[in-house]
Structure 1
């Protein structure tokens, strides 16, 4: 298992914890020795190679493996305007470079764009082709996550991957982001107008997966997830033959972030032993 940095986003945003200490926190506080970074906590450091070398040293000092960088808010790769989509592609380059320095295997991107579904798909194929070519030079994979709107249709994502057929293009299936009618795709609240079946969605994306995001929301008194059947979901992951990391991404509000992380870790461990 690994720890997604978003699990502590409120704590980092408040300044209670320093994002530069993420590797240490994952290991010392939660006993996890692999991490996924979120670029939003390092906006001003994107091109600072010295900073990323320091971050690599910190992770090595604590015996923590860096897996990927989740990249948000760098422009829509599916923008129908060629100039804007090219700008978005180039905005991602610095995170590929940072991932390379950290020793990550991937960056995670979003498949967003405004327009007709097939037109946005065509734009995504074009943009991802350019980004994957750049990333391949550093042996970095580019992973698409289901994150709302068109990207929460796994068959749409699958069609992009199959058409482009780039060896370093894959997926990061998320247990929770299956809202087709809202950006970011959260299904934490019961306010999504159109939701894709999360179990079918994860099953469809797993053949292309380089990681799995175990999204968690609220827990009941027995330590079970109230929104997601973890037994069913982890069974799907196990049956697929997936052998990578399952990253803990607590996003709930009822428990504190540290408590939510620990409860997610315990739930995964308990269920996995029975599969």
Structure 2
């Protein structure tokens, strides 16, 4: 297992101008991280700063960490065929960027709808799968594995993620497995991790505080699909059974990249470092 940090975890500091993405990469190396996961659009932007590609590659090389994964948004549920083709083309262009960054993993979103019903999911599945096939086929020339993450409510439950992975049917299309995100659709994260771990190209470690729908905790919380209240927590301090989750991952023999993805209310460098230290400690104990 190679533990590192998603740049998303330090968005707060980048957005406030306290850190640049290069500062983040250096900080990750300083705390002992083995890799950085690049999430553009949150604190930095390649479209307005194309020179960042070379700067990120050079900085990661100079501090001795890998660029593991590249994560972007996408939505192949469009009103027109022209929009569908344009979205596929945009994501394919991002695959080329992943290659220039030297990473071998890429996560792209696939679909979003206000109505997240299973009926809509079943109706959309083949169209979404076809887009993912075309992108994965383009990525194959670079030996890049593309993936869908379990988030966004629509393709978040473990069985929906599996359905898409099977429908795409490409060896280089898998899932970025976020161990915490399953609670957003009220699925038991321990069971969901067991279900989907064998399809994982990448693992995100995230924790949440969870409160029932009839106990509104006030500011700083959002709701799950069924109305329970959630708030991001430092990994190992929230309500997820992080010991059992990490035990399952470790027992599986998983030896790929694992990223801390912190989105709590505490100051981001402090929260991320505590999460990083907790995951190392728990991993060694289980």
Scaled by the length of structure 2, the TM-score of the pair is 0.82
Residue 72 of structure 2: aligned partner: 71
Unmatched 5+ residue regions in structure 1? 180-184, 186-193
Normalised to the residue count of structure 1, the TM-score between the two structures is 0.85
**Does the alignment pair 1:6 with 2:8?**
yes
Give 1:12 shift.
0.8
Paired position in structure 2 for 1:212: 203
For 1:57-68, list aligned pairs within 5 A.
57-68=58-69
- 1:182 alignment partner in structure 2: none
Give the match for residue 143 of structure 1. Answer: 147
The worse-fitting range, judged by mean Cα deviation, of 85-94 and 106-115 is 106-115
Distance 1:45 1:20, change over 3 A: farther
Cα deviation, residue 80, structure 1: 6.3
Deviation at 1:47, TM superposition (A): 8.9
CA distance in 2, matches of 1:2, 1:212: 10
C-alpha distance in structure 2 between counterparts of 1:71 and 1:250, whole Å = 17
Q: 2:28 — aligned with what?
A: 26
* Cα 1:84/1:202, change in 2 over 3 Å: farther
Contact 1:113 1:120 in 2 (8 A): no
| Residue in structure 2 matched with residue 99 of structure 1 by the alignment | 98
User: 1:111–1:124: 8 Å Cα contact kept in structure 2?
Assistant: yes
Number of equivalences: 254
1:267 to 275, 278, 281: 278
Which of the pair is proportionally richer in strand?
2
Whole-angstrom CA distance in 1 between matches of 2:233 and 2:166: 36
Query: For 2:158, which of 130, 154, 177 is the aligned residue?
Result: 154
Within the candidate set 185, 188, 191, 1:197 is matched to 188
Q: Which residue is 2:267 aligned to? A: 256
Please state which structure has a larger fraction of its residues in helix.
1
The one-character-per-residue Cα deviations of 1:168-212 (angstroms, maximum 9, x if unpaired) are 101111122225xxxxx4xxxxxxxx5122222222221111110
Residue 270 of structure 1 aligns to a residue whose secondary structure is helix
Verify: 1:225 aligned to 2:226, yes or no.
Answer: no
1:52 and 2:56 aligned: no
